[in-house]
């Protein structure tokens, strides 16, 4: 298990016809890789996440409890195939495409539990919860079914709290220190998707 990429972004206007009340909305979902395997630059990680990274809506992203968003690279093939089919445009998503701060390898939602700790070099993090996609994700992907597809697939990723700050570089190995392991990220995802179905949110 290792960290493949660290990505950061600034708040910018996000355009898209994926919400009845918004033609444009502020978002920092556009992230760019600033440390990766081909350019392993050390990046400062603070209690609030990557130094210099921004979030537009702190009620749903960022803060101490959602300082870092993690996404497994294993899901990229699924999205490239789905988006190529649905948008009729060849998709080849770059690392950071889902607005994630950490793109990782070797660890999936079914293996990650709320309360688990993740050790990366001298830094330590705690798994907090899954990512809940919204209309901004649809706009970013250019596909109105993207949020539903994220939950239906179970490929949500998860948020981390920063316990130990410091410098971090892409390529660093990841060690998971298990907690009580009662609720996995996959469990949270399934429950959220089922609630959405009951309320017809995905119709």
Termini Cα distance of the chain: 37
Residue written as token pair 């316990």? 163
Which percentage of the chain shows pLDDT scores above 70? 89
- 66 in Cβ contact with 117 (< 8 Å): no
pLDDT of amino acid 17? 56
Q: What is the pLDDT of residues 29-39, one digit of tens each?
A: 889 999 999 99
Is 44's pLDDT higher than 70? yes
Cα–Cα distance between 140 and 138 in angstroms, integer? 6
pLDDT of amino acid 199? 61
Cα–Cα distance between 140 and 157 in angstroms, integer? 16
pLDDT of amino acid 29? 81
DSSP assignments along 12-64, one per residue: EEEE-S-STT-SEEEE----EEEEETTB---EEEETTEETT---S-TTTS-SG
User: Rounded mean pLDDT of 138-166?
Assistant: 94
Q: What is the pLDDT of residues 11-28, one digit of tens each?
A: 877 766 555 555 667 777
Q: What is the pLDDT of residues 84-106, one digit of tens each?
A: 999 999 999 999 999 999 999 99
Is 146's pLDDT higher than 90? yes
This prediction's pTM: 0.91
Cα–Cα distance between 14 and 26 in angstroms, integer? 6
Domains belonging to the chain, first-starting first, are 2-198 (2.40.33.20)
């Amino acid at each position: 298990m290792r960290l493949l990429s660290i990505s950061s972004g600034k708040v910018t206007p996000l355009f898209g016809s994926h919400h009845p009340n918004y033609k444009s909305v502020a978002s920092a979902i556009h992230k760019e890789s600033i440390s990766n395997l081909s350019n392993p630059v050390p990046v400062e990680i603070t209690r609030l996440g990557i130094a210099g990274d921004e979030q537009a809506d702190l009620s749903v992203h960022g803060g101490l409890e959602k300082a870092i968003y993690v996404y497994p690279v294993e899901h990229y093939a699924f999205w490239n195939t789905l988006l190529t089919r649905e948008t009729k445009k060849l998709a080849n998503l770059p690392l950071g495409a889902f607005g994630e701060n950490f793109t990782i390898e070797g660890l999936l939602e079914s293996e990650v539990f709320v309360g688990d700790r993740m050790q990366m070099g001298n830094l330590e993090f705690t798994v907090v919860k899954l990512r809940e996609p919204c209309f901004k994700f649809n706009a970013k992907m250019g596909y109105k079914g993207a949020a539903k597809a994220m939950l239906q697939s179970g490929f949500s990723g998860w948020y981390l709290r920063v316990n130990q700050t410091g410098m971090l570089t892409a390529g660093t190995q990841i060690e998971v220190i298990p907690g009580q392991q009662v609720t996995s990220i996959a469990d949270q995802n399934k429950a959220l998707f089922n609630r959405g179905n009951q309320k017809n949110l995905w119709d």
